[in-house]
Amino acid sequence: MARVLIVDDSSAVRAYHASILLGQGHQVDLADNGYEGLEKFCAVDYDLVLVDINMPRMHGYDLVREIRKNERGKKVGIVVVSTEAGSNDRFQAYKAGADLYLVKPVRPEELERVCVMFSRAKGGSNHDGGA
Amino acid sequence: MDELTALTEVLERTEDAGERVDVVCKIAALRAPGSAKVLVQAFARETDLMVRETIVASLLICDTEEVVEEVAPLLKSEDASLRSMAFEVLAYKGDEKCMSIFEALLQEADRDVRVMAVHALGRGTCPGALSLLRKAAAVDQDINVVGAAIEYISEIGEPGDAELVEKCRERFSHPYLDFIVQRALARLRGEFDKIAS
């Protein structure tokens, strides 16, 4: 089981991703903007963070950069999930520190594969922190 | 030299972020033609977060049409900061005078621009937003645009929109759209216990 933070300004997308991950037995926390996402990230030990790009105030690239500056952020899996499908967007996401780039809409099996991959990569974390 | 020109020069020259915040507020308070353009240009070169936030807040009190004309093209920018700013400002500033600009954004070839236009319309207070969202849901060929439009139709629409929402599901075969449509139908029918938060 992975602990996942979903940062997306669309409530429907947050709910869609959360319903998939909860249905697969993962723990999920939600944030609707970059600032809230960063605050939650600093409080909890996550296996994976799903980050949207186009959000008001703090966009996804800045959030990824801020997470990577954090000591805990050096190990966490960061997956950018965006409608932006251009190569420049991928380049910017990887340059900011993302591990993977997925184009919306994501299929449930794709999200599950990513969760398994990053929870294994982290060596199975214990999730004592609370959101 | 008029006041806007003088303030613009100070804004461009000063290295003191606090002073730039003051000048941004003064430019917005002038409410002079051209203020929005100066603020948008300042945002593009600004790196200080506090000054950027002040510029966004200041744009919200400038003349609506001028602001929308200046920021709408930025939804196409390669710079995510500019896109995010434009998106945030458009959501607050859109009114009936800006309908033609939103209509044009919804015709853009770039689907990301259309997605952001839908979000700005859905979150804003534009009186004609619902009709544009219905049109986007009915005719757009991109699943993300249609999904975003359905999200807002379910929030500001009427029970009669359920038929349109159902038809959207028939046009796309993807678990994402199934989820969005189910959620929207529950909301439009007032079945709040069925809505996943």
Do the chains contact at B119 and A62, CB–CB below 8 Å? no
pLDDT at A124 over 60: no
Whole-number pLDDT of residue A129 = 38
Do the chains contact at A18 and B196, CB–CB below 8 Å? yes
Residue of B nearest to A15 (CA): B197
Residue pairs between chains A and B whose CB atoms are closer than 8 Å:
71
How far is residue A28's CA from residue A7's CA, in Å, rounded to a whole number? 11
Residues of B with Cβ-Cβ distance to A33 under 8 angstroms: none
Rounded to a whole number of angstroms, the distance from the CA of A27 to the nearest CA of chain B is 15
Whole-number pLDDT of residue B150 = 97
Q: Which of residues 67-106 of A touch B (CB under 8 A)?
A: 83-85, 88, 92, 104-106
Residue/partner pairs of A64-70 with CB below 8 Å, 24 or more apart: A64/A93, A64/A96, A64/A97, A64/A98, A65/A96, A65/A97, A66/A34, A66/A38, A67/A38, A67/A41, A67/A97, A68/A96, A68/A97, A70/A41, A70/A42
Whole-number pLDDT of residue A128 = 40
pLDDT at A127 over 50: no
Do the chains contact at A18 and B179, CB–CB below 8 Å? no
The answer to whether B89 touches B71, Cβ cutoff 8 Å, is yes
Do the chains contact at B84 and A56, CB–CB below 8 Å? yes
Whole-number pLDDT of residue B194 = 66
A43 close contact with B: CB closer than 8 A:
no
Whole-number pLDDT of residue A84 = 77
Of A15, A55, A61, the CB nearest to B196: A15
Whole-number pLDDT of residue A98 = 97
Chosen for mutation from A6, A19, A38, A54 (greatest number of chain B CBs closer than 10 Å) is A54
Residue/partner pairs of A81-84 with CB below 8 Å, 24 or more apart: A81/A8, A81/A17, A81/A50, A81/A51, A81/A52, A81/A106, A82/A52, A82/A53, A82/A54, A83/A54, A83/B111, A83/B112, A83/B115, A83/B144, A84/A53, A84/A54, A84/B112
Residues of B with Cβ-Cβ distance to A55 under 8 angstroms: 84
The arithmetic mean of pLDDT across residues A26-31, rounded, is 96
**ipTM value > 0.90:** no
A23 close contact with B: CB closer than 8 A:
no
Whole-number pLDDT of residue B197 = 55
Do the chains contact at B112 and A108, CB–CB below 8 Å? no
Residues of B with CB under 8 A from a CB of A: 53, 78, 80-81, 83-84, 87-88, 91, 111-112, 115-116, 119, 143-144, 147-148, 150-151, 174-177, 179-180, 183, 196-197
> Residues A2-26: pLDDT tens digits?
999 999 999 999 999 999 999 999 9
Whole-number pLDDT of residue A26 = 93
Split chain B (197 residues) into runs of 10 and give each run's mean pLDDT: 92 96 95 93 92 93 87 88 88 78 91 92 87 97 97 95 95 96 94 67
pTM: 0.86
Name the band, by pLDDT with cuts 50, 70 and 90, for residue A131.
very low
Ordered by where they begin, the domains of chain A are 3-125 (3.40.50.2300)
> Residues A52-83: pLDDT tens digits?
998 887 899 999 999 999 998 998 999 999 98
Do the chains contact at B88 and A108, CB–CB below 8 Å? no
Of A56, A92, A105, the CB nearest to B147: A105
Name the band, by pLDDT with cuts 50, 70 and 90, for residue A123.
low
The answer to whether A54 touches B81, Cβ cutoff 8 Å, is no
Whole-number pLDDT of residue A122 = 67
> Residues A72-114: pLDDT tens digits?
899 899 999 998 777 888 999 999 999 999 999 999 999 999 9
